[in-house]
Amino acid sequence: MNKILGMKVYDNDWFLKFHFSYSEVAKILKDWGVNLILTQSKYIPMPDTAVKSEISKQEKKLYNSYSDLKFREALANEGIDYYSTILMFFDPSALAINGKLSAYDENLKKMKKIDWYIGIPPTMEGHVENKITLLKKAVKELNPDGVHLAFMRWPGFWELWMPDSKITDFNDYSFDNISIEKFFHDCELNKPTIAINFIPKWIKENLNNEWISWKCRIVQNVISDIKSELRKIKPDLKIMLNTVPFGKNDYNNAQDKIFGQNFELLSEIVDTFEVMTYHQILKRTPEWIKLSGEEIKNRTKKNTICTIQAQPLYLEGIHKKENRNTVLNGNEFNECLEFIKDSNIDGVVVFLFTDFLNQYFKEKNKNLINKILNFSK
């Protein structure tokens, strides 16, 4: 069985800057062996992350002529699966409008932006409803093969978790009033009659296991609600989850304790796990990609695909002190692909499509393209 070869299309550069037609870009992807696309759309616009996704004023006129449906149909004609990506609990615009969506740590300090990132707790029901509304519109209009749920977790900037980091180096979110009240209500527990500023410490000392389990169930329940609503529109719609790339033994099981992504629970409702194995960001080896992906595959028994980088990231600003590798050459990229190929992992997603377009069409460098062509054979 051939492995999945996917691309993340988190901007519209192929249309706005390279000026490809829908059929041209679909043919390029097909010729490269790509059979899966994870992408934003006008129905679910993507804010800037490590990738600049927002449309500039200069691009708006041309972007107004862009059609997500034509892109989706062109991909379908080439046999390429189309997944609509939504960033669930990363939404700076929503936070700017409604400060009640803010996350608070165990010291009751409001979360501040870390580089480009700031999270929203998954207990914010109104926010979840707004996201479901966007997804329903996208599914009705675009008939995607699946939806790709990104930032579906409790707040935390996992890109800073280095090999020598400890779970105690990072904050636990979120002890906002809404989450605290919901925790005691859902677990049918009595809230202690102590000052609010002592509640987080009391929970951690007396109900820590219950707190962790509840955080994991919250994430599971949100995905379950999304799946239920969207399958009323498209019964065979697939659910793909974007996951933090940590295993049970990493950072004292921070995957559950901090991010609330328990793979055993989530395997009950998720069709495919997309694991963010960005090895250069996290200062790991290419082999780590295989080890991380295989653990999740073996624990979930579900389709598992690993995302790899096409170029080095997080080199400036707050990241400069980490001294990450500044080069990611073709041989290293190929090593990442080979470890995935030689595993029970179901495939790979490459971050980012625009990086390949720049190399292939601007720099006339076919090195990385040749690597993915070999992978897809």
What digits encode the pLDDT tens for the residues 76-132?
999 999 999 999 999 999 999 999 999 999 999 999 999 999 999 999 999 999 999
Distance CA 366, CA 139 (A): 35
The mean of the pLDDT values for the chain is 96
Cis previous bond, 174, omega within 30: yes
* Inter-residue contact 129 to 35 (CB < 8 Å): no
Distance CA 145, CA 211 (A): 35
Q: What is the pLDDT of residue 189?
A: 97
Q: What is the pLDDT of residue 1?
A: 62
Q: What's the predicted TM-score (pTM) here?
A: 0.97
Tens of pLDDT, residue by residue over 165-195, are 999 999 999 999 999 999 999 999 999 999 9
CATH topology of domain 4-376: TIM Barrel (3.20.20)
Task: Give me the helices (H) in the chain, please.
Answer: 13-16, 22-31, 60-64, 68-77, 92-97, 125-142, 177-186, 199-206, 208-231, 254-257, 263-266, 286-300, 330-341, 353-357, 367-376
- 108: three-class secondary structure by DSSP: coil
